[in-house]
Amino acid sequence: MNILLYLILVFAFVLRIYGINWDQGLHLHPDERMLIMVADRISFFKNLNPDFFNYGSLPIYLLKGLAQLSDYIFNTNLANYDGMLILGRFISIIFDLLTTFFIYKISEKIFKNKTLSLIAVFLYSIAFFPIQNSHFFVVDVLLTTLTTILFYNLIIYLTYDLRKDKLLDAKIFLLGLLTALMLATKFTSIIFYPITLIIVLLKNVRNWRKLIFTLFCFHLSFLIFYFISMPYAFLQFEKFASDISQQLKMNSDPYIFPYTLQYVYTLPYWYYIKNIFLWGLGPIISSLSLIGLIKLFKFNLKYILKNKVLFIFVFINIFYFLIIGRSSVKFMRYLLPLYPFFTIMAGYGIYYIYKKYKPLAIILVIGALIWSLLFNNIYSQTHTRIAATNWIQKNIPQGKTLAIEHWDDRVPIFNGQIYNYEELTLYDQPDNETKWQIINEKLKKTDYIIIASNRLYIPLQVLSDCKKYKSCYPITSQYYQRLFSNNLGFKKIAEFTAYPHLQIGDWKLEINDDSADESFTVYDHPKILIFKNEKNN
C-alpha cells in the first residue's frame, strides 16, 4: 500500500480529532443529543426497543453496544449519557476515515491512476464539511461511509467475471448486507435500493434463472440483516411507519416544523449547490470538481458510455442529487453522501490541470488546504454559547429577567437557575395583534433579550409577505428590524462569534459565514446577540 495514503489518512485523522470536545461535553448538537438520549435508555440485552424511528436503529445500537462492551472489558464507564458523547464522535471519525480509504479504492478502480486517486483522497481529507460532521455523532456520517462502500462493491460486482455455470455469487449477500445497514441507518437510503437492483439486473440479464435466484439471495440477505439491525421496524411497524411518514412529509412540506421554515423560500438544487460551493467544499475544491466533470463529459462522453464502471458511478451520484436536491427541506448534511463523488471529480480536475500547468495545480491545492485550516480554527475558539454564558454570569446580575426564543437552545446553558425567564413564542401563528400583546407584555418585564442563533430571525424576517407565504410573520419581521436598529428600547451590548479565521502575528484573515445554511453554523459556532432593556436598567 502506498505510504502516502497512510500519511493522508493520518492527516485526515488529525483534522477530525482536533477540537473533538468542542462543546466541553454539553451536548450542544440537537440531533446528536437525541441519538444519545435514545441510546441511553436501551441496554443490551435487556431492552433494545428505541421507540424512535426518525433515524435508523443501527447507529444507536452501535453506540450503546460499543459503550457497554468497553465498560465490560475495560471498566470505562462510557455507557451513559455523558460517556457516549465522545465515544460517538470517535465512531464518526473512524467511519469518515473509512470513507476516505474507499475513495482511494473507487478512484483507482475508475481511473487506474494512483496519483489521481491520492489527490482525490487528500482533497476529501481537507474538505471542511466532512471534517465538521465528523465532530458530531450524526447518522449522515455513517450513511456516507456505507454508501461509499456500496459504490465500491457495486463496481466490483459489475466488473467481476462470473463463470457461466456458477449459479450463486457470494457477493450478492454483501450487497444485501450493505443495503440493509444503510436502510437501518437512515430511511432515505432507500434511493439506492432500485439502483442496486438495476445493476444486479444488468449483470444477470442474459440468464433469467440465475437472475431470479440472485434476486432471491439478495432480498434474503437484506431482510435478515435489516431485521438484525432494526428489529423494531417489524415489531413496532405502526410506530415505525408513522415516524417515517412524518419525516417524508417534512421533505415535501417546509412548513411542517418551525425549524424548517428557513427553506420555504429557497430554490431546489441551487440552494444546495451554493452552500456546497461556498462552505461545504469551498470555492477551490468545488471549482476543481466542476472542471473534472466538464472535462469528463466534454472530452470523454463516448468513454463514459463505454466504461460501465465510470458510467454507473456517475449515474448513481447524479440520480441521488436529482432526488434529494429537489426536496423542500435542504439541510446541507443531506448531500454528505455525495462529497466522495465531488472530491473524486476534483481529483480528476486537478490532475488534468497538473499535467498542463503544474505550478497552478500546486497553488490550488495549497489554497484548498489553507481554506480548510481557516474553518478548522473554529475549534480553536471557545464555543460561542459557552463564551456568552460566561459573559452573562459575569455581567448580568442574578435575578434579572432574560427573554429567550423558543425552539432554540437556551443561553445561558449552565447555572441558569439564577435568572428569571420569559419565552418569546415568535414562531406562533397567526402573527397578529393578539400574539404580540402577549409578547409585548413579556418584553416589558424583560431586562435582557438573548438571541442564541440566527435560527429564528433569518427566516421570520423573510416570511413577511402574507400573500406569498402560507405562514407569514409581518409583525415579527418588524420586531426584528426595530430590535436590530435600536428602535425597540433595547440596545445591543454584546455579540459572540467564532468565524473561520487564520492569524499570523498581527495579520488575520477572517471569513464571515453568516450567510451559510443555518445548520452549518448553528451547532458549533452560532452568532449570539445580547440586548439590554434601556428602560429597566
Q: What is the pLDDT of residue 206?
A: 81
pLDDT at 311: 81
Average of per-residue pLDDT values in the chain: 93
Same-domain pairing of 142 and 64: yes
Q: Which of 46-60, 158-172, 198-212, 334-348 has the lowest mean pLDDT?
A: 158-172
Q: Which residue among 349, 378, 407 closes a domain?
A: 378
DSSP state of 359: H
pLDDT of residue 165: 44
Q: What is the mean pLDDT of residues 461-475?
A: 95
For residues 204 and 140, membership in a common domain is answered with yes
For residue 162, is pLDDT > 90? no
Q: Are residues 204 and 331 in the same domain?
A: yes
Q: Name the percent of the chain in helix, strand, coil, to the closest 5.
A: 65, 5, 30
Res 391: pLDDT: 98
Interval 230-245: pLDDT, tens? 999 999 999 999 999 9
Residues 357 and 364: beta-carbon distance below 8 Å: no
What does the DSSP 8-state code read for residue 47? Answer: B
Q: Which pLDDT does position 303 carry in this prediction?
A: 65
CB–CB of 368/134 below 8 Å? Answer: no
What whole-number distance in Å separates Cα of residue 92 and Cα of residue 76? 19
Contact 383, 22 (CB under 8 A): yes
Least confident residue range of 62-71, 299-308, 373-382:
299-308
Same domain, 103 and 204: yes
pTM of the model: 0.95
Q: Is the pLDDT of residue 331 over 60?
A: yes
Residues 222-229, mean pLDDT to the nearest whole number = 97
Question: Are residues 370 and 423 both part of a single domain?
Answer: no
Same domain, 239 and 197: yes
Strand partners, 66: none
Q: Answer yes or no: do 352 and 471 share one domain.
A: no
Identify whether residues 411 and 371 lie together within a single domain.
Answer: no
| Last residue within a domain, chosen from 340, 359, 378 | 378
pLDDT for residue 246: 86
Is the same domain home to 460 and 348? no
The arithmetic mean of pLDDT across residues 374-379, rounded, is: 97
Q: Name the nearest CA neighbour of 527 among 342, 428, 385.
A: 385
- 487, pLDDT greater than 70: yes
| Residue 287, domain extent | 3-378
Q: Is 338 exposed, middle or buried (0-12, 13-18, 19+ CB in 10 A)?
A: buried
Q: Give which of 241, 415, 266, 417 is closest to 334, Cα–Cα.
A: 266
Checking if the pLDDT of 169 tops 90, the result is no
DSSP track, 79-112: SSTTHHHHHHHHHHHHHHHHHHHHHHHHHHHHH-
Does residue 163 have a pLDDT over 60? no
User: Residue 296 — pLDDT band, cuts 50, 70, 90?
Assistant: confident
Verify that 189 and 280 share a domain, yes or no: yes
User: Do residue 392 and residue 364 come from a single domain?
Assistant: no
Cα separation, 218 vs 503, in Å, equals 54
Confidence class of residue 161 from pLDDT cuts 50, 70 and 90?
low
Number of domains in the chain: 2
Q: Does position 305 have pLDDT exceeding 80, yes or no?
A: no
Q: Which three cell numbers stand for residue 372?
A: 480548510
Cβ of 437: how many Cβ atoms within 10 Å? 9
SS (H, E, C) 301-336: HHHHHHCHHHHHHHHHHHHHHHHHHCCCCCCHHHHH
Q: What is the pLDDT of residue 227?
A: 97
The per-residue pLDDT for 299 is: 62
Last residue of a domain, one of 318, 349, 378: 378
The reply to whether 307 and 391 lie within a common domain is no
What is the reported pLDDT for 476?
A: 98
